[in-house]
Amino acid sequence: MTRADVEQFYVQPEHVFDDHFLLVHEELNHAVRVLRKSPGDSLEAVDGHGNAYSGAILSISKSEMKVAITHHSKNLGEPTVHLTLAQAVPKGSHFDMVIEKGTEIGINTFQPIITQRSIADPSSRIDRWRKKALAAMKQCGRSYCPEILPPIRFEIYLEQVDTEAIFIAHEHFSDSDLPETLTAKSCTLFIGPEGGFTDDEVNTALSSKAIPLQLGQRRLRSETAGLVGAIKLLTLFDEL
């Protein structure tokens, strides 16, 4: 069986002990009713904080499944660079795809931002996005569940960014100042709304030492731009 064939479960950190962990609720139901797991079967679980545990099932009851910990690994499936996607949320459910696919490719943090041309209020969707990130983490073989931060205004977040490198995507940029390879341990990528960043926002970002990032010759929808930009950066970091 290859890594791609291994079904991962989510174990809450408080349900991990020295020599075993417990699966409860939806994870228990999925293991027993869908996958027909039984005592003696092997099982792997991640806690969303970078820890992966595997071992054999010891017992199953109506309320929990007890699994022995025979192997523990850190940062399974994780890139070495911490990538934050700070993006204006498009209207409708388009940002759902950004969360799901962004989790799959290796984004660590999603920061919804509010820009001068933003048209969507993302405040009510945070819980839904967190559930989608958790599901995507299990599906793609990661051990860290990306953090979905509360929305914040672009200019305020720009002042708070503490990553080693900052990038801002814009259709009129070139990559003349972009190195062939990147070595920072953390970076933030800013993606604007459908109408793009205003000139004032772009200039503010550049004055904060943001590096221009060009995403190709064609005009991209906001949700596409976020994923393309993340893939481009992770490729430059040699993390895909």
Q: Would you place residue 198 in the very low, low, confident or very high pLDDT band (cuts 50, 70, 90)?
A: very high
Q: Which CATH number fits domain 82-236: 3.40.1280.10, 3.40.50.300, 3.90.1200.10, 3.40.50.1370?
A: 3.40.1280.10
Contact between residue 42 and residue 172 where contact means Cβ atoms under 8 Å apart: no
Domain layout of the chain by residue ranges: 3-74, 82-236
Task: Identify the pLDDT of residue 121.
Answer: 73
> What would the two tokens of residue 211 be?
């590096």
Structure tokens, 140: 């793609």
Total-model pTM: 0.91
Report pLDDT digits (tens) over 124-135: 789 999 999 999
The region, left, alpha or beta by phi > 0 then psi within -120 to 50, assigned to residue 196 is: left
The span from the CA of 48 to the CA of 39, in Å, is 25
pLDDT of residue 2: 36
What's the CATH fold of domain 3-74? Ribosomal Protein L25; Chain P (2.40.240)
